[in-house]
Amino acid sequence: MAGRFEDALVFAAQLHREQRRKGSNVPYVSHLLAVSSLVMEHGGDEDQAIAALLHDAIEDQGGPRARDEIQRLFGERVTRIVEGCTDSQADPRPPWRARKETFIAGIGQKSPSVKLVCAADKLHNARCVLGDYRTLGEEVWQRFVGGREGTLWYYKALVNALIQSGRTPLVDELERVVAEIGRLADKVHPHG
């Protein structure tokens, strides 16, 4: 893997250069690299690895302009995968819960490539949430639009949708991490 992947890495790093991970000083590109790494480790090809680097570009960094640039630079297949990982291209975006419900409802119709990148994205995010929850406790939920209840609902619903559309080792690992977040949350708030 060279050439196009390197170009995508530079493009993603430039596009997200000012962005940081929620609630931290960690450069956002670290997430993009982790997601792309997970995709490759789970059999992803070059287009899927590139799409993993760019999976948040349309949603977070320019909407249609970013989409057109991805299409021009990396082609139709990469663009379709990135679009499939995007919960809304509308401007203004619909409310958080509505976007998430629509995204989850559509998981079964998404391509295997989109499911691979999506599962890798959510697995890395869930691992970060779990680590931060262990360190910060309940304070971690302040980072998320959905708060504690919405975030827990979203991860569980997404895992269920991915399982229904076909188990993979990546989905199984996501299920384990989300279950651990749930167990930890239940210890803190047994009835919540």
Answer yes or no: is pLDDT of 190 > 90. no
Kindly state the helix (H) or strand (E) to which residue 51 belongs, with its residue range: helix 46-54
- Alpha-carbon distances of 4 from 16, 103, 152, rounded to whole Å: 18, 29, 36
* Predicted pLDDT of residue 94: 85
Band (64; pLDDT cuts 50, 70, 90): confident
Catalytic residue among 7, 60, 173, 180: 60
* CATH classification for the domain delimited by 4-188, as one of 3.40.50.1980, 3.40.190.80, 3.40.50.2300, 1.10.3210.10: 1.10.3210.10
Catalytic residue among 47, 56, 59, 87: 59
Domain ranges of the chain: 4-188
The first and second tokens of residue 21, run together, are 């991970």
Known catalytic residue: 60? Answer: yes
Answer yes or no: is pLDDT of 192 > 70. no
Identity of residue 157: A
Answer yes or no: is pLDDT of 29 > 60. yes
Span 73-113, pLDDT tens digits: 999 999 999 999 988 777 777 899 999 999 999 999 999 99
The stretch 159-183 carries a mean pLDDT of 96
Kindly state the helix (H) or strand (E) to which residue 30 belongs, with its residue range: helix 29-41
Distance CA(28)–CA(130), nearest Å, equals 18
The residues, ordered by sequence, that sit 6+ positions from 157 with a Cβ below 8 Å of its Cβ are 100, 104
Known catalytic residue: 56? Answer: no
pTM of the model: 0.92
- Alpha-carbon distances of 67 from 46, 85, 87, rounded to whole Å: 18, 12, 14
* Predicted pLDDT of residue 168: 96
Answer yes or no: is pLDDT of 117 > 60. yes
Answer yes or no: is pLDDT of 8 > 60. yes
The stretch 32-45 carries a mean pLDDT of 97
The stretch 128-137 carries a mean pLDDT of 93
* Predicted pLDDT of residue 1: 58
- Alpha-carbon distances of 64 from 1, 59, 75, 132, 168, rounded to whole Å: 27, 9, 15, 33, 32
